[in-house]
A = this chain, B = another copy of it.
Amino acid sequence: MKKILLASTSTLFGQGYLEYLLEELESFFEGRSTITFIPYARPGGISHEDYTALAAKAFSKINKKVIGLHTFTDPPEGIAQAEAIFTGGGNTFLLVQQLHQLQLINPMKERIETGTPYLGSSAGSNIAGPSMKTTNDMPIVYPSSFDTLGVVNFNLNPHYTDPDPNSQHKGETRETRIREFHIFNTTPVIGLREGNYILVSGDHKILKGKGTARIFEAGKKPYESKNIPF
């Protein structure tokens, strides 16, 4: 049975890395002692080594060992051996470029579809949908495709923010951008606010955290929902 947890963010303001999720993760990863970490999304300031160490420190609190996928000379083999998978946040363009280049999309998809628990945060959540076309990130590198894992039937917009009614800034709001996505694409989109996450167990999907998510479906007015309606 598919087991997927997609978080809008890894870290809440004033808290430690993954802190707000640890209790949930303890039950989510029950029966798994190691988690394979995909550190490719972080473009600078932190090495794959250090990023993995950050994840390892958080998971040590619930007695899980973390292995960085960058330590495998054959990364698809690292995925084949994984007991559980976690993709950390950063830049989605860089992450997706790396996943295609290292031929990881199909191996990851196969493992997740057959029940290997998958945790994503931010960019790591973006890639669970059919495409990365609703990321907020800057296109600092050119991926060979915008297609992603497609292990859920919706796209995510992480760190979702509501339009500021007092803003005099003329850049597009998040809502406008997602509605423009629907001029060219039909995949539904979930605007996931910080602190919220989606838990998938087989065909069952629930929204967790405070409040509602903003739901965007092609041809419909966006709306708030406490449930995932597709």
Main secondary structure of the interface of A (DSSP, over half): loop
Q: Which residues of A contact B (CB under 8 A)?
A: 9-14, 43-44, 91, 93-94, 132-142, 145-146, 158-159, 161, 168-172, 177-181, 183-185, 194
A12, chain B: closest CB distance, angstroms: 7
Q: Does B180 contact A138, Cβ atoms closer than 8 Å?
A: yes
B contact residues around A172 at 8 Å (CB): 137-138
Q: Does B170 contact A194, Cβ atoms closer than 8 Å?
A: yes
Q: Does A139 contact B140, Cβ atoms closer than 8 Å?
A: no
Q: Does B170 contact A140, Cβ atoms closer than 8 Å?
A: no
A134, chain B: closest CB distance, angstroms: 7
Nearest chain B residue, comparing its CB with the CB of A146: B142
| A169 to B9 Cα, complex, angstroms | 10
A94, chain B: closest CB distance, angstroms: 8
| A69 to B135 Cα, complex, angstroms | 30
